[in-house]
């Protein structure tokens, strides 16, 4: 599909990544090209070890490509920055801070007034339905609630790009479904450029505008599938014919790569 070059937010250009290990060189990414438009929701699927996290870490500036480059707003990524927020599978909350303090933590860099700091934190805590738990500590929360705090913190920092590495991977199926709906609703009401890694094809199809299927290691992009299902999407969307066609198509492509990875 021809894409409008003027609104490219993240441009991944021929990115290769090699790791030197005790057992020799591992080629994790072998030439990845991808343009992500402003406010686009991209999901990435592919067999274990195909380089999904490596790619996310390179966009985040946590790792450097061996060759090629990533630009965000036409600036080459060299290190982490406030324009990119990362949400990992493990919640990464500060255990000694309350929900509100955790959400406010990143905001402190923004030099807001005390009132604005309070207002922004409350807005995003409310968005994820945790207003009643504002003063609770992480140990008092369930896994789903902790991940909601991480999402609230990610959104509150208002990065231009939200990078999510299997954020719902550690949650039970019901909580996972609930958080998918919440994230969908959040993105539908307050758009952001999202790069979301998942093992769950159904999750990819319900969330994304485009799903990137990666090939078995050394990781390359095998295919990019447009998800031509209009928003707003709900859990009922999963019952539709088109949803299931897309899910099956993507699943069979991922399965092909899974078999390849097993060889
Ligand atoms: N720091 C590292 N040092 C050496 N090899 C690494 C390192 N990080 C990743 N790798 C290797 O690079 C390849 C890609 O890893 P990566 O974690 O990016 O894959 P992934 O697709 O995210 O996997 P999963 O779905 O299992 O999380 C794997 O073979 C992995 O063993």
pLDDT digits (tens, 9 = 90+) for 140-155: 999 889 988 998 888 8
Amino acid 3: pLDDT: 58
Work out the average pLDDT over 204-230: 95
Q: Is the pLDDT of residue 165 over 80?
A: yes
Amino acid 251: pLDDT: 96
Q: Is the pLDDT of residue 2 over 50?
A: no
Amino acid 105: pLDDT: 87
Instruction: Give the length of the chain.
Output: 263
Letter string b/e over residues 54-63, b meaning 16 or more CB atoms within 10 A of that residue's CB? bbbbbbbbbb
Whether cis (ω within 30° of 0) applies to the bond prior to 10 is no
Q: Is the pLDDT of residue 88 over 90?
A: no
Mutation to probe ligand 1, out of 28, 60, 66, 86 (largest number of atoms < 8 A from CB): 28
DSSP strands (E only) in the chain = 8-21, 24-37, 41-45, 67-72, 75-76, 84-87, 161-165, 193-197, 210-214, 221-226
Amino acid 4: pLDDT: 65
β-pairing, 161-165 with 84-87?
parallel
pLDDT (tens digit per residue) in 14-68 = 999 999 999 899 999 999 999 999 999 999 999 999 999 999 999 999 999 999 9
Which residues lie with the beta carbon below 6 Å from any ligand 1 atom? 19, 21, 26, 28, 46, 48-54, 217
User: Which residue lies with its CA nearest to atom 31 of ligand 1?
Assistant: 49
Distance 62 CA to ligand 1 centre (A): 14
SS3 at position 108? helix
SS3 at position 193? strand
Mean pLDDT, the chain, rounded, equals 92
Q: Is the pLDDT of residue 135 over 60?
A: yes
Distance 95 CA to ligand 1 centre (A): 28
Band of the pLDDT at 7, cuts 50, 70, 90? very high
Whether cis (ω within 30° of 0) applies to the bond prior to 232 is yes
Q: Which residues pair with 211 in a beta bridge?
A: 43, 225
Tokens in use for 186? 């959040």
SS3 at position 45? strand
Q: How far apart are CA 202 and CA 176, in angstroms?
A: 11
Q: Is the pLDDT of residue 229 over 50?
A: yes
pTM equals 0.91
Which has more pLDDT, 115 or 107? 115
Lowest-pLDDT choice from 53-62, 70-79, 90-99 = 90-99
SS3 at position 192? coil
Distance 243 CA to ligand 1 centre (A): 30
User: Which residue lies with its CA nearest to atom 24 of ligand 1?
Assistant: 48
pLDDT-above-90 percentage for the chain: 67
Q: Is the pLDDT of residue 249 over 50?
A: yes
Amino acid 1: pLDDT: 45
Instruction: Render 22-37 in DSSP notation, one character per residue.
Output: TTEEEEEEEEEEEEEE
Mutation to probe ligand 1, out of 54, 90, 195 (largest number of atoms < 8 A from CB): 54
Atom of ligand 1 nearest to the CA of 21: 4
- C-beta of residue 192 within 8 angstroms of C-beta of residue 39: yes
User: Which residue lies with its CA nearest to atom 1 of ligand 1?
Assistant: 19
Band of the pLDDT at 157, cuts 50, 70, 90? confident
Mutation to probe ligand 1, out of 15, 32, 51 (largest number of atoms < 8 A from CB): 51
């Amino acid at each position: 599909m021809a894409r409008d070059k003027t609104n490219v937010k993240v441009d991944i250009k021929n990115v290769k990544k090699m790791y030197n290990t005790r057992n020799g060189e591992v080629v994790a990414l072998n030439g990845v090209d991808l343009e992500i438009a402003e406010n686009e929701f991209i999901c990435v699927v592919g067999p274990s070890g195909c380089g999904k996290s490596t790619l996310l870490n390179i966009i985040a500036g946590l790792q450097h490509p061996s060759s090629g480059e990533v630009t965000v707003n036409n600036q080459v990524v060299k290190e982490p920055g406030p324009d990119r927020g990362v949400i990992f599978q493990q919640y990464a909350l500060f255990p000694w801070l309350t929900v509100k303090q955790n959400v406010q933590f990143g905001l402190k860099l923004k030099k807001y007034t005390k009132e604005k700091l309070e207002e922004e934190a409350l807005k995003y805590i409310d968005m994820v339905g945790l207003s009643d738990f504002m003063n609770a500590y992480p140990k008092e929360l369930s896994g789903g609630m902790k991940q909601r705090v991480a999402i609230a913190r990610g959104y509150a920092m208002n990065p231009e790009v939200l990078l999510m590495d299997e954020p719902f991977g550690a949650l039970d199926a019901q909580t996972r479904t609930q958080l998918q709906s919440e994230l969908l609703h959040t993105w539908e009401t307050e758009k952001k450029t999202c790069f979301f890694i998942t093992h769950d094809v159904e999750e990819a199809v319900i969330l994304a505008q485009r799903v990137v299927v990666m090939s078995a290691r050394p990781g390359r992009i095998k295919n990019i599938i447009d998800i031509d299902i209009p928003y707003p999407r709900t859990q009922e969307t999963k019952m539709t014919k088109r949803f299931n066609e897309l899910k099956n198509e993507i699943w069979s492509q991922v399965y092909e790569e899974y078999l390849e990875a097993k060889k």
